[in-house]
């Protein structure tokens, strides 16, 4: 049964405790952008590192790459993004609010409430455009007698210089992988099947960014293009389906909140012959967490046809060369973060008081251990606690020194950010070289010898 955590609970905790802040907030914000604070950046890194370990480091058939975000515009022409990476846009003739036609009931404007104010949807391309080099795009406005050129304008038909210097911020990391497929084949001679993995930023000019980081204009993807023989795509897709379940479990997401959706042809991306969406019961409802697509040889063939370079794979046993087909498991970092936080967000009662805590898997927790002297005005306690802190910090890295407020308040604060253990140094510690270790989930406390501490906390 899904929990009833609200999105507001998560957003408010993230802001209050320094996980995620609205982008450019000090200047009134920038819609669809988010900034990561000290704890958010740790959580995000832990998720991304876990992914890299599972899907690259722990396997023999995977190779990592890190391609440039700015790519030759031919990449996006060949991939079909220039023509088809669009959402249907409608505008209200009364209040001029703009919406995605497939996300609203277009009989009535959701902003001003007026009926029948929308015309036919037009296709809005979601790629962010810019120009490379010292070019100031000029828009050409035509009227009956001739043309007028307006420097720096942002819409309309552009002059030739602006068109040829056009670059897009990548809307998916995948194309940086496809364009490097041949480089890796030529430098590593991998056995097929093999995969290339990349993590990095992607940008989409979403018509309606919404639901916290769920639909942002700037976000991160973790993508794999797995190159297979065309006869084996079904078997390989099945392996990646099972691998994706391993991933959701490693994120601590309960199986009964994760669902597969076999995406019907009409909803599939232009390059896909089969797509399974992995959905999660987010506080906003059941929505896409990650995707798994069979992209056929669509991308490599497009590159071969448009670049004139041969994309064939030559089997080492002398078999016939062929253009590999591709299975693409794709994971959004922000959606993983939102799912992890939603699954971890827990409320209970301790000694008659309501408690909020993040029941994060220890390997994802932004802070692994918090260390406190029982009293911060007793130099001998502070000195001992500092020693323990320094030792643990060397070993665990993300260890927090916390001497604010009384010990009860410290525990609550650490619970709220998901710290699995709190270590407290008291007067007995000075005598017996042991400390109190308090467990986040059970709130149980036990005495542990300092010499045994690192074993206990692992
Ligand atoms: N290369 C395939 C591809 O990009 P996609 O389904 O468009 O496929 C993959 O995106 C994943 O990226 C999604 O499953 C989602 O997790 C994430 N994603 C897509 N758009 C997003 C957005 N606007 N904000 C946050 N995450 C997004």
**233-274 pLDDT per residue, tens:** 999 999 999 999 999 999 999 999 999 999 999 999 888 999
Sequence-ordered list of residues with C-beta below 8 angstroms from that of 357, at least 6 positions apart, any chain: 346, 347, 348, 415, 416, 418, 440, 441
Say how many C-beta atoms besides its own lie within 10 A of residue 158's C-beta.
Answer: 20
Which residue's C-alpha comes closest to atom 6 of ligand 1?
A: 291
- pLDDT of residue 149 exceeding 60, the answer is no
221 lines ligand 1 (CB under 6 A): yes
* CA dist 356 → 43, 68, 80, 96 (Å): 18, 41, 47, 42
Sequence-ordered list of residues with C-beta below 8 angstroms from that of 444, at least 6 positions apart, any chain: 438
Per-residue pLDDT at 342: 97
Q: Which of 288, 289, 296 to mutate to test the pocket of ligand 1 (most atoms within 8 A of CB)?
A: 288
Tell which atom from ligand 1 comes closest to the C-alpha of 209: 23
Q: Give φ, ψ of 399 to 5 degrees.
A: -115, 135
pTM, two decimals, is 0.93
204 lines ligand 1 (CB under 6 A): yes
220 lines ligand 1 (CB under 6 A): no
332 lines ligand 1 (CB under 6 A): yes
Q: Which of 208, 335, 337, 339 to mutate to test the pocket of ligand 1 (most atoms within 8 A of CB)?
A: 335
User: Where does residue 101 fall: left (phi above 0), alpha (psi -120 to 50 degrees), or beta otherwise?
Assistant: alpha
Enter the tokens of residue 259.
């669902």
Q: Which helix (H) or strand (E) holds 338?
A: helix 333-344
Q: Give φ, ψ of 159 to 5 degrees.
A: -70, 170
Q: Which of 71, 75, 202 to mutate to test the pocket of ligand 1 (most atoms within 8 A of CB)?
A: 202
Sheet arrangement for strand 274-282? 62-64, 194-203, 218-228, 325-332, 285-296, 274-282, 258-262
Per-residue pLDDT at 68: 97
Structure confidence at residue 436 as a pLDDT band (50, 70, 90): very high
Higher-scoring residue by pLDDT: 88, 11:
11
Tell which atom from ligand 1 comes closest to the C-alpha of 171: 4
Q: How far apart are CA 136 and CA 145, in angstroms?
A: 25
Tell which atom from ligand 1 comes closest to the C-alpha of 335: 16
Per-residue pLDDT at 162: 75
DSSP annotation of 323 reads: P
Region 301-318: what's the mean pLDDT? 95
Mean pLDDT, the chain, rounded, equals 93
In contact, 194 and 180? CB cutoff 8 Å: no
- pLDDT of residue 407 exceeding 80, the answer is yes
Structure confidence at residue 96 as a pLDDT band (50, 70, 90): confident
Region 431-454: what's the mean pLDDT? 97
Per-residue pLDDT at 231: 97
Tell me: the pLDDT tens digits for 191-242? 999 999 999 999 999 999 999 999 999 999 999 999 999 999 999 999 999 9
> In the chain, what are the helix, strand and coil shares in percent, each to the nearest 5?
35, 30, 35
Structure confidence at residue 1 as a pLDDT band (50, 70, 90): very low
């Amino acid at each position: 049964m899904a929990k009833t955590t609200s999105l507001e609970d998560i957003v408010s905790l993230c802001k209050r405790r320094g996980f995620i802040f609205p982008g450019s907030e000090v200047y009134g914000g920038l819609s669809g952008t988010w900034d990561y604070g000290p704890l958010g950046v740790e959580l995000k890194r832990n998720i991304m590192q876990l992914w890299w370990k599972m899907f690259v480091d722990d396997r023999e058939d995977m190779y990592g790459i890190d391609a440039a975000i700015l790519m030759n515009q031919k990449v996006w022409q060949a991939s079909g993004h220039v023509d088809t990476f669009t959402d249907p846009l409608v505008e209200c003739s009364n209040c001029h609010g703009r919406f995605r036609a497939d996300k609203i009931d277009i009989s009535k404007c959701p902003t001003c409430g007026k009926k029948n104010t929308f015309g036919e949807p037009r296709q809005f391309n979601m790629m962010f455009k810019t120009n490379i080099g010292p070019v100031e795009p000029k828009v050409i406005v035509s009227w009956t007698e001739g043309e007028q050129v307006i420097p720096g304008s942002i819409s309309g038909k552009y002059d030739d210089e602006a068109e040829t210097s056009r670059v897009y911020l990548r809307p998916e990391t995948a194309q940086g992988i496809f364009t490097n497929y041949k480089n890796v084949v030529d430098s590593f001679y991998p056995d097929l099947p093999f995969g290339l993995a990349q993590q990095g930023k992607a940008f989409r000019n979403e018509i309606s960014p919404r639901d916290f980081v769920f639909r942002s204009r700037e976000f991160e993807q973790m993508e794999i293009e797995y190159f297979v023989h065309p006869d084996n795509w079904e078997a390989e897709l099945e392996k990646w389906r099972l691998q994706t379940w391993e991933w959701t479990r490693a994120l601590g997401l309960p199986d009964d909140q994760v669902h597969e959706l076999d995406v019907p042809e009409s909803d599939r991306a232009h390059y896909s012959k089969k797509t399974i969406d992995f959905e999660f019961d987010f506080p906003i409802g059941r929505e896409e967490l990650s995707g798994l697509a069979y992209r056929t040889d669509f991308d490599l063939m497009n590159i071969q046809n448009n670049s004139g370079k041969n994309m064939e794979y030559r089997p080492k046993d002398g078999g016939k060369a062929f253009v590999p087909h591709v299975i693409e498991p794709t994971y959004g970092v922000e959606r993983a973060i939102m799912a992890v936080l939603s699954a971890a967000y827990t409320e209970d009662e301790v000694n008659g008081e309501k408690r909020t805590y993040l029941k994060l898997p220890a390997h994802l927790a932004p802070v692994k251990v918090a260390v406190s002297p029982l009293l911060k005005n007793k130099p001998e306690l502070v000195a001992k606690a500092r020693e323990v802190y320094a030792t643990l910090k060397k070993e665990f890295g993300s260890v927090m020194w916390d001497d604010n407020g009384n010990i009860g308040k410290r525990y609550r604060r650490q619970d709220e950010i998901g710290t699995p253990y709190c270590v407290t140094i008291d007067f007995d510690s000075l005598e017996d070289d042991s400390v109190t270790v308090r467990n986040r989930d059970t709130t149980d406390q036990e005495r542990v010898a300092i010499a045994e501490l690192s074993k206990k906390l692992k």
